Chain A
Amino acid sequence: MRSKMLGLFAMFCAFTVTPAFAQNEQFFPSLVYRTGPYAPNGIPFANGYADYLNLVNTRDGGINGVKITTEECETGYATDRGVECYERLKGKGPTGASLFVPLSTGITYALMDKAPVDKIALLTSGYGRSESADGNVVRWAFPILGTYWDAGDIQIEYIAKSLGGWDKLKGKKIADVYHDSPYGKEPIPVLQALAKQHGFDLQLLPVTHPGVEQKATWLQIRQNRPDFSLLWGWGVMNSTALKEAAAVAYPRDKMLGVWWAGAEADTVPAEDAAKGYEALALNPAGTNFPIHKDVFALLYDKNLGAADRKDVGSVLYNRGMINALFATEAVRTAQAKFGNKPLTGEQVRWGLENLDLTTDKIKKLGFEGLLTPLKVTCENHTGIARAKVHQWDGKEWHFVSDWIDSDQKLVWPMVEEAAKKYAQEKNLPTDACAKAS
């Protein structure tokens, strides 16, 4: 048995000792889920992320000459596999992993304790722990573009707007169909605070993972007839919700999904049931943006693309590209300070913290129309917290609103309070920014 153990030990040393990378490379790990009940949403995101990184290599020769290397690791949305992937990939590359994009709230929670120790930042754009917006406490996680609390607030703002004003919310009934996991439960405090403030009745309807059993939920909705239903699902829960809503004849245009429940992966499987469904959008769908010209010309015309050609430009594909943009621009920003060489995780973190995407920069990068200008600061890691609402017409998404900003007067105090509690729990200082500057 000992020789077996030694043999295994040697084998794993062989696997864990990384082959010597060429010196001038920046390693970007990619945690993906291409299998399991959440794969329909995980696959386009992973493809967009991979394609943009590939594009930066082929078109620009890397970031200021530093080539990008990447490796995918399958997590299946499971926390323990995500942790194992993290442990395996964090040391790869000449300077270690640049940053991690977990794309799963569960994995984010688990990694938020490890990231500060290993000094690798987490890019959790549009998800993750809402406390991480407060950079004074949480230095290593960046929910750029907004957190779940922002999303919940924006949803109610849009509903109020469509009714004609905040006062019209009084007495209305809003149902919240949510995935019974940290992802679905996070926005509830914000929704409850808004319910108290504006006098509407909030009905909470949890759906157990993976979310294919929703008949009872929607029968209850049919019974209660809420004026609006919020959908906070992920994976197959979304398309099932749309199908069940159709089965109980609940009007789909009264359903408002969060930005993780508003993609082609959610509406296409539901076919006709999805017509009229509205959801928040962090970014538009479509391929008529300057960056897509490059993607098609340099990748897909040469058969180097990660996705099927027809899937390029879907909502989640574009979001994956945007995440890759944040990652590469963070490295570029950090290179301006630390030099054009492979950077450590701590230096990339500085880059994320000082990420400043102006209108000109966005235009030069080819993302005009996909992003609005944003500036991440040490104190506020979200940079900007706004979304539009788009509606599915059976074939495509069309915007039905302009940019709606989340109400920071309501959300930010809650973030600060939660961050204070987090700091107490983890024994962290609450003034990291003041100290750093």
Chain B
Amino acid sequence: MIYREAGQFRTSYAADQAVFPVLQDRVFVWAIALFAFVVVPFAASEYLLRAILVPFLILAIAAIGLNLLVGYCGQISLGSAAFMAVGAYVSYDVTVHLPWLNLLLVFLIGGLCAAAAGVVFGLPSLRIKGYYLAVATLAAQFFFDWLFIRVPWFTNYASSGSVSAPPLRIFGLSFESPAGRYLLCLGLLTVAALVAKNLVRGRMGRIWMATRDMDIAAEIIGIRPLHAKLSAFAISSFIIGISGALWAFVHLGSWEPLAFSIDRSFALLFMVVIGGLGSILGCFFGAAFITIVPIFLNQVPAALGIPLSTAMVSHLEFMTFGALIVFFLIVEPNGLARLWAIGREKLRLWPFPH
């Protein structure tokens, strides 16, 4: 009744190729965007902004990047936190040596270096497939873990190896306040999501999906595997690198190499798989799941008044998290995005059952 497409005629190619062709979808997305940009910065508490929304937004960007590689191009990568680290450290070094450069350009350069690193560590994908490739990407993870600790140039010769980000000023405006940080991340997330959505709808996306589905057949019909796989690694690492720079500059403020350890890589992979492989919307769901569930699980025993030691709460958090992952994979292997799509399908027919 509400969600009917009847009566909506698309009379131009542009209208037909819109990201959200259905009017109700467009209205809904605009409403959410307005709410997110205008209402939330003023209404949300500082804790909500700094500790929940900012990490959610940054990890959503990273999940979009990883989804391009894993979901659309089918190359399993377990070393994504390493590319986040590359983005973060290169951005830091640029601000140290070129402090006058606009922060957005700094992030861009960080992303480009991460893309280069992604291409280098993606080269084995031309020869190695499947689980072997997944384990090979771990080489990137451990190598960069080591590189940023050992080579003092990256940390500006700090004796401790810990570095801190410069103040967040872009075009003279300060983004230091919680609302400012939130808006910066939200803006970059919107750009990343639009770019990714259009990439996957276009030629690049089709090349990637063909490689994912049957790479030999794709090669036969003329898709160069080198081009397909390395472009996926490059663009994916670019986006992940930018998210890494944001994670370091906006969320942590001060960080050491352990901040980008293998746990972060696995968290990103979870986001992508639980959210839905091959779905941009799924990245948002996955990021929300991974950001909010641990905090939620942490607070539940206290909220219910059950006296548990912090160690036990931590263990229960792990257990519930693991069980939830298995549960979601059993219930819907295509992720939360598929559940959302099913919901939409039902809504199109509502109130009729079929």
Direct contact of A and B (CB under 8 A): yes
A34-B309, A88-B47 known; A83+B295 contact, CB < 8 A:
no
Nearest CB of chain B from residue A226's CB, rounded to whole Å: 21
Contact B252 A83 (CB under 8 A): yes
Whether, in the assembled complex, B194 has its beta carbon less than 8 Å from a beta carbon of chain A, the answer is: no
Contact B32 A8 (CB under 8 A): no
Nearest CB of chain B from residue A302's CB, rounded to whole Å: 17
Contact A129 B311 (CB under 8 A): no
Q: How far is the CA of A1 from the CA of B28 in the complex (A)?
A: 9
Nearest CB of chain A from residue B32's CB, rounded to whole Å: 6
Question: What per-residue 1/0 map shows which CB atoms of A412-437 lie under 8 Å from chain B?
Answer: 00000010000001100000000000
Contact A2 B253 (CB under 8 A): no
Contact A35 B48 (CB under 8 A): no
Nearest CB of chain A from residue B93's CB, rounded to whole Å: 14
Question: What per-residue 1/0 map shows which CB atoms of B136-159 lie under 8 Å from chain A?
Answer: 000000000110011000000001
Contact A186 B160 (CB under 8 A): yes
Nearest residue in B to A86 (C-beta to C-beta)?
B51
For B162, list chain A residues within 8 Å (CB).
Answer: 105-106, 109, 182
Q: How far is the CA of A84 from the CA of B295 in the complex (A)?
A: 9
Whether, in the assembled complex, A72 has its beta carbon less than 8 Å from a beta carbon of chain B, the answer is: yes
For A79, list chain B residues within 8 Å (CB).
Answer: 252, 255-256, 258-259
Whether, in the assembled complex, A198 has its beta carbon less than 8 Å from a beta carbon of chain B, the answer is: no
Nearest CB of chain A from residue B336's CB, rounded to whole Å: 11
Q: List A residues 11-27 near B (Cβ within 8 Å).
A: 12-13, 15-16
Contact B51 A181 (CB under 8 A): no
Q: How far is the CA of A113 from the CA of B255 in the complex (A)?
A: 11
Question: What per-residue 1/0 map shows which CB atoms of A32-48 lie under 8 Å from chain B?
Answer: 10110001000100000
Q: How far is the CA of A207 from the CA of B61 in the complex (A)?
A: 33
Nearest residue in B to A14 (C-beta to C-beta)?
B303
Contact A425 B164 (CB under 8 A): yes
Q: List B residues 238-260 near A (Cβ within 8 Å).
A: 251-256, 258-259
A106-B162, A182-B160 known; A12+B52 contact, CB < 8 A:
yes
For B314, list chain A residues within 8 Å (CB).
Answer: 34-35, 74, 76
Q: How far is the CA of A112 from the CA of B295 in the complex (A)?
A: 23
Q: How far is the CA of A74 from the CA of B159 in the complex (A)?
A: 28
Q: How far is the CA of A198 from the CA of B52 in the complex (A)?
A: 52
Contact B31 A209 (CB under 8 A): no
Q: List B residues 27-44 near A (Cβ within 8 Å).
A: 28, 31-32, 35, 44
Whether, in the assembled complex, A272 has its beta carbon less than 8 Å from a beta carbon of chain B, the answer is: no
Nearest CB of chain B from residue A96's CB, rounded to whole Å: 12
Whether, in the assembled complex, B11 has its beta carbon less than 8 Å from a beta carbon of chain A, the answer is: no
Whether, in the assembled complex, A253 has its beta carbon less than 8 Å from a beta carbon of chain B, the answer is: no
Question: What per-residue 1/0 map shows which CB atoms of A221-260 lie under 8 Å from chain B?
Answer: 0000000000000000000000000000000000000000
Nearest CB of chain B from residue A79's CB, rounded to whole Å: 5
Contact B310 A34 (CB under 8 A): yes
Whether, in the assembled complex, A298 has its beta carbon less than 8 Å from a beta carbon of chain B, the answer is: no
Nearest CB of chain A from residue B95's CB, rounded to whole Å: 11
Whether, in the assembled complex, B315 has its beta carbon less than 8 Å from a beta carbon of chain A, the answer is: yes
Contact among B47, B256, B313 for A106, CB-based, below 8 A: B256
Whether, in the assembled complex, A346 has its beta carbon less than 8 Å from a beta carbon of chain B, the answer is: no
Q: List B residues 208-265 near A (Cβ within 8 Å).
A: 251-256, 258-259, 261, 263
Q: How far is the CA of A411 from the CA of B340 in the complex (A)?
A: 61
Whether, in the assembled complex, A87 has its beta carbon less than 8 Å from a beta carbon of chain B, the answer is: yes
Q: Which of A84, A183, A209 has the most chain B CB atoms closer than 10 A to its own CB?
A: A84
Name the prevailing secondary structure of the B interface residues. helix
Nearest residue in A to B295 (C-beta to C-beta)?
A84
Total A residues in contact with B, Cβ cutoff 8 Å: 48
Whether, in the assembled complex, B181 has its beta carbon less than 8 Å from a beta carbon of chain A, the answer is: no
Q: List A residues 314-334 near B (Cβ within 8 Å).
A: none
Contact A84 B51 (CB under 8 A): yes
Contact A209 B44 (CB under 8 A): no
Contact A113 B164 (CB under 8 A): yes
A9-B48, A35-B311, A74-B311 known; A186+B164 contact, CB < 8 A:
no
For B261, list chain A residues within 8 Å (CB).
Answer: 209
Q: How far is the CA of A114 from the CA of B253 in the complex (A)?
A: 9
Whether, in the assembled complex, B180 has its beta carbon less than 8 Å from a beta carbon of chain A, the answer is: no
Q: How far is the CA of A257 from the CA of B262 in the complex (A)?
A: 29
Whether, in the assembled complex, A189 has its beta carbon less than 8 Å from a beta carbon of chain B, the answer is: yes
For A186, list chain B residues within 8 Å (CB).
Answer: 159-160
A182-B162, A425-B164 known; A73+B310 contact, CB < 8 A:
yes
Q: A residues engaging B (CB < 8 A)?
A: 1-2, 5, 8-9, 12-13, 15-16, 32, 34-35, 39, 43, 72-74, 76, 78-80, 83-84, 87-88, 91, 105-106, 109-110, 112-114, 129, 180-183, 185-186, 188-189, 206, 208-209, 418, 425-426
Q: B residues engaging A (CB < 8 A)?
A: 28, 31-32, 35, 44-48, 50-52, 55, 145-146, 149-150, 159-162, 164, 251-256, 258-259, 261, 263, 292, 295, 298-299, 303, 309-311, 313-315, 340
Pick 26 A–B contacts, CB within 8 A, sort by A: A5-B32, A9-B48, A13-B45, A78-B258, A78-B263, A83-B251, A84-B51, A87-B47, A88-B47, A91-B47, A106-B162, A106-B259, A109-B255, A109-B256, A110-B253, A113-B253, A113-B254, A180-B149, A181-B149, A181-B161, A181-B258, A183-B160, A186-B159, A188-B159, A189-B159, A209-B258
Beyond the given A34-B314, A79-B255, A109-B256, please list 18 additional residue pairs across the A-B interface where CB-CB is below 8 A. A15-B299, A15-B303, A16-B47, A34-B309, A35-B314, A39-B311, A43-B311, A74-B314, A78-B258, A78-B263, A79-B259, A80-B252, A84-B295, A87-B46, A106-B162, A181-B149, A182-B162, A426-B164
